[in-house]
Amino acid sequence: MSTTNDKDKEIVKELLKAIHKGVDPAELKKEFREILTRVSPFEIAFIEQELVKEGISVSDILNLCDLHVELFRDFLATRELKNVPKGHPIDLLTRENEWILKQAEALGIYAQALTILKSPRDSVEYLNALQTYLRELKKIRIHYRKLQMFVYPYLERRGIVAVPRVLWGREDQVIVKIREIENNLEKAVKDPTLDIVGKLAQELIVLSKEIQELVFRENKILYPALHALFTEGEWAAIAELSEELGYIVEVGEKLWVPEERPLYPYEVQAVVEPEQMEKLPEEFKSLVKQKDIQADTYKVKRDGDLELPTGFLTPREIDGVFRAMPIEITYADTNDRVRFFSESEIAGGFPRSKTILGRLLYYCHPPRLENYVKVNVEALKKGQFKYREFWTRMGDRIIRVMIAPAKNREGELLGVLEIVEDLTEVVNNPDEIKKKIVVL
């Protein structure tokens, strides 16, 4: 990151004063075009923090954020991303990054303000504001999740593994730091000594910088590369999945409607063609050329597979999957007749055998419970509950029993599922279980 000279800083100050007077940012871009082509959007973020040290109010400096986003948008226009239609995944990811940039920038400005406080009492207003921004910024996980789960698999399919792993590692660091700083911020609110607040401020400044650098890497390097590599079918799948997960910005009207069917990574015969290679950003191209990349040719679907909405399995694998689960299930159709049950090798439930296949579900229970089961099954089939939960004992074991309606993706009732789970350890040793909890 280059160092900004005093002249540039003074011009940015002039911009700040003009915004304070209500001048349209578009007019400022025209008037100060020369300086704005020389000062990168990231340098502006650091100038803002320097202005805090000089006594300019945080609220005034925050008014620069909108102009910063405008500059960043112009800065990216020089890359390969041209004429991306509104509503295309790249458009929406870029707009999310604009939102993220503003939140991260505000964090840095408030954090810098904390470093010049003379009294802990003066930090209360800033700490409260930081809590609000940090709480909002936690939505960043939704943005990263779309990249990690929907975008990176297509790069990996092409044999481009290093880029996704590096980016995911940096994204994960940001998520962990947000969580840690949120805890430290709560402590600072309760005990705002200068030492605690000062340490917190430095952590926030580093976090702000790391998030802004990630925004830069995504918008300037990753998205232009994706634009050059991915087909419309791939984008159609990414758009469909992203819609289910959601966005952290208002989507609005979509002008992009894919003409190709969704194409998932396992369906892609992915090779980076020479003409695609030429369109890649230099930073991306050099990394790809350094590695002897080999496209992933693994075939997910094999002969004899059952094709399910979420994958492919052989009957033998299905049996193995159910046996490896720490739960046991019994499935009855809409006639209340048992059609399937599973057995667990990890945690057993109630004894069952093939003799229950075809049997009425409530006849699989003691007569004293028959009517109770029947009433609850009927209530579930009528949609009166999402599920019903019951607890019981079997010897010294504590068992949770859940029954829930099984439906297809259109919401049509298929039957009822009874799920049995041994939760003895959880109930008897809750403190020991809590010690094992790892936040991912």
Output the DSSP codes for 80-149.
S--SPPTTSHHHHHHHHHHHHHHHHHHHHHHHHHHTT-SSGGGGHHHHHHHHHHHHHHTTHHHHHHHIII
Angle at 207 (CA atoms; ends 211, 78), nearest 5 degrees: 25
Q: Tokens for 377?
A: 């099954």
Other beta carbons within 10 Å of 408: 9
Q: In one letter, which amino acid is 99? A: W
Q: Return the domain boundaries, the chain.
A: 79-282, 308-435
Q: What span, in angstroms and rounded, lies between the C-alpha atoms of 63 and 241?
A: 35
Q: Which CATH superfamily is domain 79-282 in?
A: nmb1532 protein domain like (1.20.120.520)
Q: What span, in angstroms and rounded, lies between the C-alpha atoms of 94 and 89?
A: 8
Q: How far apart are the first and last CA of the chain?
A: 32
Q: Tokens for 58?
A: 């945080």
CA gyration radius, the chain = 28
Q: pTM value?
A: 0.82
Output the DSSP codes for 275-295.
HHHHHS-HHHHHHHHHS----
pLDDT in tens, the chain (440 residues): 344 566 766 776 677 667 667 777 667 766 666 665 666 655 666 677 777 777 777 777 776 666 666 666 666 555 557 778 999 999 999 999 999 998 998 998 899 888 887 777 778 888 999 999 999 999 999 999 999 999 999 999 998 888 888 899 999 999 999 999 999 999 899 888 888 899 999 999 999 989 988 998 898 889 999 998 999 999 999 999 999 999 999 999 889 999 999 999 999 987 788 888 888 887 777 767 766 678 889 999 999 999 999 999 999 999 999 999 999 999 999 999 999 999 999 877 788 899 999 999 999 988 999 999 999 999 999 999 999 999 999 888 999 999 999 999 999 999 999 999 999 999 999 999 999 988 77
Other beta carbons within 10 Å of 169: 9
Q: What span, in angstroms and rounded, lies between the C-alpha atoms of 45 and 108?
A: 8
Q: Domain 308-435, what architecture?
A: 2-Layer Sandwich (3.30)
Q: What span, in angstroms and rounded, lies between the C-alpha atoms of 12 and 160?
A: 40
Q: What span, in angstroms and rounded, lies between the C-alpha atoms of 166 and 168?
A: 6
